[in-house]
Amino acid sequence: MIEISSDVIRGYNDTMILSILMKEPSYGYEISKQIRQLTDEKYIIKETTLYSAFTRMEKNGYIESFIQQDVDLKGKKRTYYRITEGGQNYYKEKCEEWVLTKEVINRFILEGLIDGNN
């Protein structure tokens, strides 16, 4: 099975994380699990990549963290993240950028080679 290169997807980690946070606040492990599930395990975000993204996006004002007692952890505290208005705007920009990126790259994808019809 072909794996997605981390170099290719690096610029879209923020987009994936923000997409999940658009629905509701969440925490690191749950976000990682959702990315794994939504990609049918074709992309597994590394923990260091995930928490670096949290740090960067919080510094840029795209997300904010908060501590919440978690029922699953019997009242222990867990750090959650929620998207800000700035993060919603950034997410929309990244989605528009993706449409353009996909359009450009698709011009260089030779369909016959992918399908094995060469």
Residues 44-77 have pLDDT tens digits of: 999 999 999 999 999 999 999 999 987 776 778 8
For residue 50, which of 83, 10, 95 has the smallest C-alpha distance?
10
Q: Is the pLDDT of residue 28 over 80?
A: yes
For residue 95, which of 6, 3, 5, 18 has the smallest C-alpha distance?
18
pLDDT at 9: 85
What's the pTM? 0.85
pLDDT band at 112 (very low <50, low <70, confident <90, very high): low
Q: Is the pLDDT of residue 118 over 60?
A: no
- Cα–Cα distance measured from residue 112 to residue 83, given in angstroms and rounded to the nearest whole number: 41
